[in-house]
Chain A
């Protein structure tokens, strides 16, 4: 396909613009876009809660909102950002759109199931927003018993139901992806010719399918205990609140890998394209992704070192946590080595990807602090932990998500984004992010606890730094929304392969036709066969 031919034919976008053509579509690309719109709106709500939290924390005494409202704010921020933005972000948007195209298929294995997943996701979001409008829950996204089951009268039932329903959306999306990757690869697309983004989607889907049911049943047990006043978590009846934490974290630690593994896949794609180099140690990277998915199920106890869990169990979980961090370290070194002897260029996606490596590395390394038993006693439930998981989830997953959106924007919309603005927002996000979350490491070691609207005066200086940084970060997220929407109408028309990237999705039109490929492609070369192909922009 000559990369300079401008796409003027019938694309998946032009096959109907009325409501019904979107709400009843079975086209994985349209469903991907519907997810993108939904999670952008939900990101707005979660982000607004975060902004209010950061404003309230400017002063040691909670002056912007009452402390009860503050508790509801961080619950909204947690629930919406985890289940309604981060978990679906890359798999449901880029994954839905690109997975069939990258393996040469016409659509996912079960299109109707895919549409049902979106409706379940929206249904779950409606419940959660209903709860938010009716007073919201104040238990934090962790719902720890016995507070969630006995001592709070807030909207825990509605939020738990919302997350329960959205959980099924995750399970069905995971099921769809696993079956599609197994059964519908194009001829010649062997497992070790799959792009690493597909490996990351596959591993993420395994975790989605194997972990989410545990969350669904745990929330159901919690809600039943709340409603009927009896349950296995109730200490008054001899139940064990730590049992809830075991069941909850058995899902929630694999869930953090659901959030970061897709970002690893996106980063691999972007870095190999903008260094014109095949990913260093492709097989090691693929096995590392699977190792993270598998070991991710063994380490949940590191969330419970000081929770009353036995010291011996804590020791076992600490050792297993160190083992699970080795594959992540391997990936960082391999990304760095991919730049070696390449043709490195710095388009916006590459800046986002490099930002991802930097922030993910800091996030991963601070995870090692927390995995050490002795140190976790001091660091647990302080702002050190808050900074750690924001570095991984916001620094890692969201940076890579924005990088992926920019990298595949021409393929999705047929338009180019404004390069200058995009580079500026990538750098602004990186700087704003570090200003926001690095001070939290320091105030964390000082001992400032999480979820505190009222804090000791000596922590204020770091909180002011953090809130200042947050005001920069906000622009880092709002800017892309503006210029990307602008580019839909005024953006330069995109070629089929504007980056001269390798991958089946670049061998079809931008935006692609409804059936993705006019003829099913046959794969002959290895993944990332860039070896001296001409650099971007010809």
Chain B
């Protein structure tokens, strides 16, 4: 079940640099006057960063499908909570 394919350190450093780059981008876009598009852009970048960390540093890429489901299921649970609660708050 667990992976024995060891990720080469080079990959970790590459991921690290990408994350720092994305950090710079996200901070930069925060100051661009994009109006309503600002929030989706910031969130998209943070989702990408999170995906990078989970796939590479947390070895999800080579993990058993069950582990992938467990990794994602928390986000779905909160998604349901936010979406249905907002559906109430916004249509009140």
Give the Cβ gap from A287 to chain B, nearest Cβ, in Å. 17
Q: Which residues of A contact B73 (CB under 8 A)?
A: 210
Task: Report yes or no: A310 in contact with B84, Cβ–Cβ below 8 A.
Answer: no
Give the Cβ gap from B88 to chain A, nearest Cβ, in Å. 4
A residues 276-321 in Cβ contact with B at 8 Å: 297-298, 300-301, 304, 308-310, 312-313, 316-317
A182 interfacial contact with B, CB 8 Å: yes
How would you classify the secondary structure of chain B's contact residues: helix, strand, loop or mixed?
helix
B residues 62-85 in Cβ contact with A at 8 Å: 66, 73-74, 77, 80-81, 84-85
A242 to B89, CA, bound (A): 9
Give the Cβ gap from A206 to chain B, nearest Cβ, in Å. 9
B92 interfacial contact with A, CB 8 Å: yes
Known contacts A210-B73, A210-B77; is-contact A242 B88 (Cβ 8 Å): yes
A240 interfacial contact with B, CB 8 Å: yes
Q: Which residues of B contact A312 (CB under 8 A)?
A: 87, 91
Give the Cβ gap from B81 to chain A, nearest Cβ, in Å. 5
A residues 232-259 in Cβ contact with B at 8 Å: 240, 242-243, 246-247, 250
Task: Report yes or no: A240 in contact with B89, Cβ–Cβ below 8 A.
Answer: yes
Task: Report yes or no: A214 in contact with B92, Cβ–Cβ below 8 A.
Answer: no
Task: Report yes or no: B84 in contact with A182, Cβ–Cβ below 8 A.
Answer: no
Task: Report yes or no: A310 in contact with B88, Cβ–Cβ below 8 A.
Answer: yes
Contact of B80 among A183, A247, A298, A304 (CB under 8 A): A298
A residues 203-240 in Cβ contact with B at 8 Å: 210, 214, 240
Q: Give the total number of A-B pairs whose CB atoms are below 8 A apart.
A: 43
A182 to B69, CA, bound (A): 13
Give the Cβ gap from B84 to chain A, nearest Cβ, in Å. 7
Q: Which residues of B contact A298 (CB under 8 A)?
A: 80, 84
A436 to B89, CA, bound (A): 39
A182 to B2, CA, bound (A): 13
Task: Report yes or no: A310 in contact with B1, Cβ–Cβ below 8 A.
Answer: no
Task: Report yes or no: A316 in contact with B85, Cβ–Cβ below 8 A.
Answer: no
Task: Report yes or no: A310 in contact with B80, Cβ–Cβ below 8 A.
Answer: no
Known contacts A309-B92, A312-B91, A313-B91; is-contact A243 B84 (Cβ 8 Å): no
Q: Which residues of A contact B74 (CB under 8 A)?
A: 210
A214 to B91, CA, bound (A): 24
Interface residues on A, range: 20 to 34
Contact of A301 among B1, B66, B88, B92 (CB under 8 A): B88
Q: Which residues of B contact A243 (CB under 8 A)?
A: 85, 89
Residue of B nearest to A246 (CB): B85
Task: Report yes or no: B1 in contact with A316, Cβ–Cβ below 8 A.
Answer: no
Q: Which residues of A contact B84 (CB under 8 A)?
A: 246, 298, 300-301, 313, 316-317
Residue of A nearest to B85 (CB): A246
Cβ-closest 7 pairs across A and B: A313-B88, A310-B91, A310-B92, A246-B85, A312-B91, A309-B88, A250-B81
| Interface positions of A (Cβ within 8 A of B) | 182-183, 210, 214, 240, 242-243, 246-247, 250, 297-298, 300-301, 304, 308-310, 312-313, 316-317
**What are 16 A-to-B residue pairs whose CB atoms are below 8 Å?**
A183-B1, A210-B73, A210-B74, A214-B81, A246-B88, A247-B81, A250-B85, A297-B80, A298-B84, A301-B84, A301-B88, A310-B91, A310-B92, A313-B84, A313-B87, A313-B91
18 extra interface residue pairs, beta carbon distance < 8 Å, beyond A250-B85, A301-B84? A182-B66, A214-B81, A246-B84, A246-B85, A246-B88, A247-B81, A298-B80, A298-B84, A301-B88, A304-B88, A310-B88, A310-B92, A312-B87, A313-B87, A313-B88, A316-B84, A316-B87, A317-B84
